[in-house]
Amino acid sequence: MDILIIIALFVFGSIIRGIKNHKKNQKIKVKIKNMKDFQNLSNIEIIENIIKENPSWWQKTGQSILSLFILGSITCSLILFTISLDPRIIIFDVSIPIREFLLLIINVYYGFRD
């Protein structure tokens, strides 16, 4: 059962990444079409114009915050495993162990980043 959860979370992260990449590609196509005389520009000039633009907040800061969150969750989970503490949260009458939940978040992250 744990393997199915791990695979499902990885697929979930991959779906999020696919949606993000699709939106990014659409934005690039719109930027190219909005360029002045884009049909007369060479591919290199188009790429140079796109690279000159400033990266978004997510590209600058958001991914670093996400990486720090994942690092913190891994560290907390390993500390909980080391001291043999198993706190649980109850959501909708389901008891969820926090240390296993923190480790499962890693699969969503890897699906999202890879």
Query: Contact, 31 vs 50, CB < 8 A?
Result: yes
113/21 Cα distance (integer angstroms): 11
93/77 Cα distance (integer angstroms): 23
Tell me phi and psi for residue 41, to 5 degrees. -85, 150
pLDDT tens for the chain, 114 residues long, are 677 877 888 888 889 888 988 998 898 888 888 877 777 777 777 778 777 777 777 777 877 888 888 888 888 888 888 888 888 888 888 888 887 887 788 777 777 775
Burial-class residue 93 by CB neighbours within 10 Å (0-12, 13-18, 19+): exposed
Query: Contact, 100 vs 78, CB < 8 A?
Result: no
How much is the pLDDT for 19?
A: 92
Domain residues of the chain, as ranges? 2-113
